[in-house]
């Protein structure tokens, strides 16, 4: 049987002569005492006697020496620790080395030195780095609709772990929202530098350039294939690209990948990656990663472009659907501001009602895009039709909710694969009616924030407006109203929810409105100025109304007897009043006939007391009040009929007419257009 020391010697000789692992025996001073054949380029005897940190050209020699001394002092081995370096005298850049260190002890437990095993795991680490880089691209890119953030995200993911410098250039038209050009593209297509990261800061983000002919950039844009290029002083195409030539000279860049960002045959831009001295050149496997990263970025950019394009269309439709005319009425001054944002469903409106009343409306359809703007337009159209019926605010919202339910049923009936099924329908609305004669504002709201009211002296007015369920909800609770009496000169603020979110939101609005005698548009701006910066990424709408009364010289009211002589008396009163307003004879005669028919109808079918009111604004309004709840109906009288033509005649003479109900009866009203020079 061979002796144990002979077996040990044979084992060591075999390990040091045949092991693929670099084995180093170090003394307590960390000098190499024995080493196996590490490389064909470096003989083992050149290593013996050197400190370990001299035998290897290490990226961080101090860290490595500290690691070795720690094992020597504690006896605790270090297993599978990766360091960057290269064997002394071996060509090429630093490589990833896997180091395992054990302490060697004598029989008494005293340290004799160290055994350090070194394995070149450069290819394994490069593969892991590629996997990590691709995961970083997927993690950083695709979660934003902002093109700048998308481009910067891919740069952040690749630098410095995968590349020393990354540049993302996007076709300028794509950044502006236009479709990407199909390949092959012309060389004069401008590209804008959207993002960059690395040690070269000579070229600023935002700079535009055209692709120099005969360069990897132009070739990649032409055939949509990536290029892997090793750079050097003799690279011929650098002469035609002074910017890249300067960068290569100043940084020593030696390796380049140009990956086109492409989608369905269209060219969106380029991702250019560089490596500098100290980094290994790119290889074919790096080319695959770069192309995958460019494809992921291209998809995100196209998604962003489509969103921006759709957002522009939706925002344009939203603005076209909002009121285009000044909403001021004879007794109400209004102003508004619309803050743009992702949401395309904010809306507001002012609608003139009979009796000098004004409907003040604000609402919001949650979401963004074209369908949100369309839904907003449908609700606004419906509420215009409902307002013309002179319904109470709670009744208007109840009928509007019926319309919302029909829209929701229509959406549910779409094919299962339609994308609208993934867009929930949610909307809020507030409907208020201001009556200048009673100086009251009656408000109902469907899930919308209550208005903010300010007294003419700047004091906040407490409002208690019951909240009804939002539109499109399953809640069947009824809507309720609140009626507030307001002094002349009070200011009402109707806001979408984002303006009333966060700490002190209501207080900020009240502070901005604390000087209600200022111009109303200035107050609108003050509300916006008082908001925190970037507080409304979804956008917001604000409608302000300053209450007033009808000027005494623009209204005339009479209480009339309930008998047959009243129509003739009414005609005389009307003529005198309209002549005092300097209206033309044609308007006076038409109004006399309208009043005569309305009074006759009230005397015949209504109940006293009877009131007649004339109101001169942009139109001439006639109102006849009585206490009967029964309303007449328009019908076409036959030739043999002796009556029934009254309301038909009224409808022919008036531009609009209708019936308004109240707690004390009803009012028949008409509106007539008057010539612009027909009144003083």
Q: What is the pLDDT of residue 621?
A: 93
More confident residue, 266 or 125: 266
Is the pLDDT score of 341 beyond 80? Answer: no
Question: Contact at 8 Å (CB) between 428 and 436?
Answer: no
pLDDT digits (tens, 9 = 90+) for 65-106: 888 888 888 889 988 888 888 877 777 777 888 888 999 888
Asked, colleague to colleague, whether 18-120 and 126-310 share their fold, the answer is yes
> How far is it, in rounded angstroms, from Cα 401 to Cα 423?
19
pLDDT digits (tens, 9 = 90+) for 500-544: 766 668 888 899 899 988 999 999 999 888 887 766 667 788 999
Question: Contact at 8 Å (CB) between 441 and 484?
Answer: yes
Share of the chain above pLDDT 90, in %: 38
Residue 178: name the closest of 197, 196, 192 by CA.
192
Topology given in CATH for the domain delimited by 552-673: Heat Shock Protein 90 (3.30.565)
593-623: b (≥16 Cβ within 10 Å) or e: bbbbbbbbbbbeebebebbbbbbbbebbbbb
Summary mean pLDDT of the chain: 85
Share of the chain above pLDDT 70, in %: 89
What class does CATH assign to 18-120? alpha beta
> How far is it, in rounded angstroms, from Cα 502 to Cα 511?
15
Is the pLDDT score of 625 beyond 50? Answer: yes
At residue 231's C-alpha, the angle toward residues 230 and 233, to 5°, is: 145
Q: Provide the residue ranges of all domains of the chain, joining segments of one domain with +.
A: 18-120, 126-310, 322-547, 552-673
pLDDT digits (tens, 9 = 90+) for 144-178: 888 889 999 999 999 988 999 999 999 998 888 78
Residues 6+ apart with CB under 8 A from 673: 619, 655
Is the pLDDT score of 642 beyond 50? Answer: no
pLDDT digits (tens, 9 = 90+) for 350-384: 999 988 999 999 999 987 777 888 888 899 999 99
What class does CATH assign to 322-547? alpha beta
pLDDT digits (tens, 9 = 90+) for 20-31: 677 888 888 889
| Band of pLDDT at residue 663, cut at 50, 70 and 90 | confident
pLDDT digits (tens, 9 = 90+) for 602-623: 888 888 899 999 999 888 999 9
Task: Measure CA 61 to chain center.
Answer: 50
Mean pLDDT for the stretch of residues 128-135:
85
Q: What is the pLDDT of residue 201?
A: 55
Topology given in CATH for the domain delimited by 126-310: Beta-Lactamase (3.30.450)
């Amino acid at each position: 049987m061979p002796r144990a020391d002979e077996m040990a010697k044979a084992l060591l000789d075999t390990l040091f002569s045949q092991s693929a692992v670099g084995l180093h025996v170090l003394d307590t001073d960390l000098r190499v005492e024995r080493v196996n054949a590490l490389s064909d380029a470096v003989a083992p005897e050149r290593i013996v006697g050197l400190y370990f940190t001299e035998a290897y050209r290490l990226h961080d020699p101090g860290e490595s020496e500290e690691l070795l001394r720690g094992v020597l002092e504690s006896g605790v081995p270090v297993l599978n620790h990766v360091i960057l370096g290269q064997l002394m005298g071996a060509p090429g850049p630093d490589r990833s080395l896997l180091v395992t260190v054990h302490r060697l002890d004598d029989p008494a437990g005293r340290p004799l030195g160290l055994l350090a095993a070194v394995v070149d795991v450069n290819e394994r680490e490069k593969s892991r780095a590629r996997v990590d880089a691709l995961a970083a691209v997927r993690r950083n890119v695709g979660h934003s609709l902002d093109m700048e953030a998308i481009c910067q995200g891919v740069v952040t993911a690749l630098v410095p772990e995968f590349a020393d410098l990354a540049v993302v250039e996007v076709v300028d038209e794509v950044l502006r929202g236009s479709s990407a050009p199909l390949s092959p593209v012309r060389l004069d297509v401008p590209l804008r530098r959207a993002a960059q990261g690395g040690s070269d800061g000579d070229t600023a983000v935002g700079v535009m350039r055209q692709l120099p002919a005969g360069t990897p950039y132009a070739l990649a844009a032409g055939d949509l294939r990536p290029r892997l290029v090793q750079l050097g002083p003799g690279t011929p195409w650098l002469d035609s690209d002074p910017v890249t030539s300067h960068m290569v000279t100043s940084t020593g860049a030696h390796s380049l990948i140009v990956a086109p960002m492409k989608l369905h045959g269209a060219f969106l831009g380029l991702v250019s990656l560089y490596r500098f001295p100290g980094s290994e050149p790119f290889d074919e496997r790096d080319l695959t990663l770069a192309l995958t990263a460019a494809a992921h970025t291209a998809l995100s950019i196209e998604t962003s472009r489509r969103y921006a394009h759709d957002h522009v269309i939706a925002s344009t439709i939203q603005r076209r659907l909002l009121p285009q005319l000044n909403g001021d009425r004879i007794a109400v001054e209004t102003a508004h501001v619309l803050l743009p944002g992702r949401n395309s469903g904010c809306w507001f409106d002012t609608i003139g009602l009979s009796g000098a009343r004004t409907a003040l409306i604000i609402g919001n359809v949650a979401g963004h895009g074209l369908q949100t703007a369309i839904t907003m337009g449908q609700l606004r159209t419906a509420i215009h039709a409902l307002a013309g019926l002179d319904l109470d605010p709670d009744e208007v919202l109840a009928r509007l909710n019926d319309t919302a339910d029909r829209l929701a049923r229509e959406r549910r009936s779409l094919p299962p694969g339609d994308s609208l099924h993934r867009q929930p329908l949610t909307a809020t609305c507030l409907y208020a009616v201001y009556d200048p004669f009673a100086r009251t504002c009656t408000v109902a709201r469907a899930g919308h924030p209550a208005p903010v009211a300010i007294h003419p002296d700047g004091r906040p007015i407490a409002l208690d407006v019951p909240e009804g369920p939002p539109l499109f909800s399953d809640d069947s609770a009824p809507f309720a109203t609140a009626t507030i009496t307001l002094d002349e000169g009070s200011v009402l603020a109707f806001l979408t929810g984002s303006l009333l979110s966060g700490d002190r939101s209501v207080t900020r609005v009240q502070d901005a409105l604390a000087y209600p005698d200022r111009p109303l548009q200035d107050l609108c701006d003050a509300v916006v100025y008082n908001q925190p910066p970037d507080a409304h990424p979804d956008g917001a709408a604000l409608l302000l109304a300053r209450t007033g009364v009808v000027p005494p010289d623009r209204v005339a009211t009479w209480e009339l007897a309930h008998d047959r002589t009243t129509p003739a008396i009414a005609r005389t009163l009307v003529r005198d009043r309209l002549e005092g307003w300097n209206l033309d004879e044609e308007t006076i005669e038409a109004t006399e006939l309208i009043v005569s028919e309305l009074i006759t109808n009230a005397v015949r079918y209504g109940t006293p007391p009877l009131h007649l009111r004339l109101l001169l604004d942009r139109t001439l309004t006639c109102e006849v009040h009585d206490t009967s709840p029964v309303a007449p109906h328009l019908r076409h009288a036959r030739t043999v009929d002796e009556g029934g033509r009254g309301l038909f005649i009224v409808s022919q003479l008036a531009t609009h007419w209708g019936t308004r109900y109240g707690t004390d009866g009803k009012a028949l009203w008409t509106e007539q257009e008057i010539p612009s020079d027909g009144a003083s």
